[in-house]
Amino acid sequence: MSARVRLHVNVDHVATVRNARGTRYPDPVTAAALCELAGADGITCHLREDRRHIVDDDVVRLRASVNTTLNFECAATVEMRDIALRVRPELVTLVPERREERTTEGGLDVAGQAASLAPIVEALSRAGIIVSMFVAPTDAQLAASRQIGAHAVELHTGEYCHLIGRAMQDELERLRGACERAHELGLRVAAGHGLTRHNVGPVAALPHLEELNIGHALIADAVFFGLDRAVRDMRAAIDAR
């Protein structure tokens, strides 16, 4: 059996519910603490350009209270780089961002944007932050991530989660190949997007996979079962791989 896969819970959608009414509740920082108590290995938050869920003050408060690992997801912009350098999360995951998308729809085009990404990766690395690239599982993106000095990649599982049957299996094989390739390149491997209790098992069993970032489905489960049980059930689904 390979090493335990870490579960990072993305608390963005607690902030989505809060912001829908402009209240102070539910607080994503309280949610993060409950996730940690339930066994989460880290907390993920995505500060979007339009601040539609997590806002700047949440990131500061999360930094002050998260005791595990804080994974700060952001677009590769100078504004976000500077926030990351001030807040000092353990991990920054660079993601693509388009204002009109409902959620992060594709991976970052590291191969196509290497020149603009490299200085951001370098600045964050120099500050002692682990830098990860959220990418589609292709050789070109993995090689480019390595080339610009990223420490890790997060493989985009959105395709896998949308497909069914044979096509889903094929995408899983593509993810498997990417895990092997990333490992050969010396990159740490994470995965995420669209994962649920029901589809996480085969992803958690991929070789060299160290970490999963899971948000929407887990927070949706929490609406019905509570956050503690939602984290524990996800943990159990990961461990059942």
Q: Which residues are catalytic?
A: 46, 73, 193
Closest CA to 117 of 80, 64, 85: 80
Closer CB to ligand PXP, residue 73 or residue 171? 73
Contact in structure between 118 and 69 (CB atoms under 8 Å): no
Does 46 bind ligand PXP (CB under 6 A)? Our answer is yes
The conformation of residue 14, written as its DSSP 8-state character, comes to H
What residues between 174 and 193 interact with ligand PXP by CB under 6 A? 192-193
Our finding on whether 10 is near ligand PXP (CB under 6 A) is yes
Q: 153 has which bridge partners?
A: 133, 189
- Residue 166 or 194: the one with the smaller Cβ distance to ligand PXP is 194
Pairing, β 209-214 against β 70-74: unpaired
Q: Does 104 bind ligand PXP (CB under 6 A)?
A: yes
Question: Which lies closer to ligand PXP via its Cβ, residue 87 or residue 215?
Answer: 215
The reply on whether position 215 binds ligand PXP by CB under 6 A is yes
Q: Which residues, 6 or more positions from 227, have their beta carbon under 8 angstroms from its beta carbon?
A: 31, 34, 35, 38, 219
Q: What is the DSSP letter of 4?
A: P
Local structure of 172: helix, strand or coil: helix
Choices 28-36, 111-119, 141-149, 212-220 (CB under 6 A): range interacting with ligand PXP: 212-220
Name the residues that contact ligand PXP, by CB under 6 A.
10, 12, 46, 73, 93, 95, 103-104, 134, 154, 192-195, 213-217
